[in-house]
Chain A
Amino acid sequence: MRRYSAFAIAREAARHHLGWERAWRSPAPKARYDVIIVGAGGHGLATAYYLGKNHGIRNVAVIEKGWLGGGNTGRNTTIIRSNYLQDPSAAIYEKARSLYETMSQDLNYNVMFSPRGVMMLAQTQHEIRGYQRTAHANALQGVATEFISPRRVKELCPIINIDGPRYPVLGALWQARGGTARHDAVAWGYARACSDMGMDIIQQTEVTGIRREGGRVVGVDTTKGTIGCGKLGIVVAGHSGVMAERAGFRLPIESVALQALVSEPIKPVMDVVVMANTVHGYMSQSDKGEMVIGGGADGFNNYTQRGSFHHVEETVRALVETFPIISRLKMLRWWGGIVDMTGDRSPIISKTPVEGVFVNCGWGTGGFKAIPGSGWAMAELMAKGHSPLAEEFSMTRFREGKFIDESVAAGVAH
């Protein structure tokens, strides 16, 4: 693999950009791999990457039904933060956030990580108490956050209307090292690094069945034939339930649609990420100038990757009061993704009843921020059979009642 650098740009400019290599190979599948990962989204590719980088397992294929990064990796609002209440969550999300800091150098691919700061507005007395508690918990967990005053909110983000009649801003939980990154670049960077390690990324290939012998996985049936494997990682987000059924077990997961939208591009007006959980809206401004807006999830099971108009209306109506400046913006694009929700709104990184099959899912509405940490933990679990970061996220926790209850902690899906 030729490294990307300022020198490479100059070199290629001198020869009309004809010398750039393909970022990753598109090989035909081999007959067998040590490890197969189903799903070439951020989490699947990160799992493959850390299997190779941290554990030396490089005979790996990543099989993708559609195209690389075309699911939720390309459909989120790119927010990165780690201000969670519960210890296991804070540990894995903070690991992810810290890996984002060095990802561009690590992958030699510019993921445009921008630690511009994330604030979560407290707009009710309940939220003030909740976020103060989170700030204290974060201090104990070694996650740098603080609870800030409305005045400080206004300083950091002048376009906020802090004394709206319905949704006044009473303070905020502020994580200065949170921010955003280029979501597609995260998938592309991992894919390029995986391909460089000799891993095969096989797109446009659906896994239609999982072959087992004596309670152990031996391979997968795909639309390009049967492929053998030693271990199988299922990292397919919204379709986890469908894949689990093919492997012969069930997951505590329900799939719903989550939607987002972006406005027409405008000049820079805000350089932080603002989340308003009371009204289920969050907003940041992309480098192109578009306001990136995310809303709440639908409440019913849905596989259509379409949002519903009334949810957009709810989100935008509430945000317009907090950000009067956006009231006359036109919306440019609007899309939905299928998110996999667990009962406690925390993910599952776990062994399964089928030996050799591992599952990484349940990231729900907040998976993008976790990609490197999730891949790190999943790779460790698959390589060694246990991972400190993944330990509490076992799928058996629902039976045992050992929830990691972030839905109660945050008061909303997140």
Chain B
Amino acid sequence: MLTFTCPYCGVTACETELSPGGEAHLKRFGPGSSDEQFEEYLFLRPNVKGVHFERWRHAMGCGKWFLAARDTATLEVFGTYSAQTTEPPADIIAAIRAKRPDWSLT
């Protein structure tokens, strides 16, 4: 079972206490964007087999959305961080690199 530490309330919660919210750091498009951009934003996902940045909500706890780095092929969680970011913070990237030396942020 997956366990994450909520970066807001500090509680270490298992999967049943959380709701998954899909890929993190999506580039949003608004009115006036092209069909291709909307398709990209709404549907196209890299669907990575490996290190994946994703959204979770501490639904049965503090209720806040947070972000996490997790390996979709092994279910290993590298860390969690605030949702108020547009890219993964340096300490999360360092934690991933420590375990996946070949990995790079694309």
Contact = CB atoms under 8 A, between A and B. Distances in A.
Interface in A215-272: 239, 241-242, 245, 250-255
Given A300-B20, A304-B75, A308-B1, A399 B35 contact: yes
Interface of B: 1-2, 15-16, 19-20, 22-23, 35-36, 38-39, 42-49, 52, 54, 70, 72-75
A308 B72 contact: no
24 contacts: A241-B46, A245-B46, A250-B46, A251-B44, A252-B44, A254-B45, A255-B72, A299-B19, A300-B54, A300-B70, A301-B23, A301-B54, A301-B72, A302-B72, A303-B49, A304-B73, A308-B1, A308-B2, A309-B1, A310-B1, A310-B16, A343-B42, A343-B43, A400-B35
Contacts of B2: 300, 308
A386 B23 CA distance: 34
Given A398-B39, A398-B42, A301 B47 contact: yes
Contacts of B43: 252, 342-343, 398
A342 B44 CA distance: 10
A301 B44 contact: no
Interface in A136-180: none
Among B16, B36, B43, B70, find the residue whose CB has the most chain A CB atoms closer than 10 A. Answer: B43
Give the most central of B1, B16, B44, B70: most A CB within 10 Å. Answer: B44
Contacts of A399: 35-36, 38-39
A301 B48 contact: yes
Task: Pick the 9 closest A-B CB pairs, nearest first.
Answer: A241-B47, A252-B43, A300-B20, A299-B20, A399-B39, A398-B43, A250-B44, A301-B72, A303-B73
A391 B35 CA distance: 20
Most chain B beta-carbon neighbours within 10 Å: one of A301, A304, A398 = A301
Given A241-B48, A300-B2, A301-B47, 17 more contacts: A242-B47, A250-B45, A251-B44, A252-B45, A253-B45, A255-B49, A255-B72, A301-B23, A301-B54, A302-B72, A303-B49, A303-B72, A303-B73, A304-B73, A310-B1, A310-B15, A398-B43
- In terms of DSSP, what is the predominant structure of the interface of chain A? mixed
**Size category, A interface:** 20 to 34
Interface string A304-344: 10101110000000000000000000000000000000110
Contact of B15 (A250, A251, A306, A308): A308
Nearest to B75: A304
Contact of A255 (B20, B38, B47, B74): B47
A299 B52 CA distance: 14
A43 B90 CA distance: 43
B47 A254 contact: yes
Contacts of B16: 310
A299 to B, nearest CB: 4
Contacts of A308: 1-2, 15
Nearest to A341: B47
Contacts of A250: 44-46
Contacts of A301: 22-23, 47-48, 52, 54, 72
Interface in A279-305: 298-304
A245 B50 CA distance: 14
Interface string A67-111: 000000000000000000000000000000000000000000000
B6 to A, nearest CB: 16
B44 to A, nearest CB: 5
B39 to A, nearest CB: 4
Contacts of B74: 304
Contacts of A298: 20
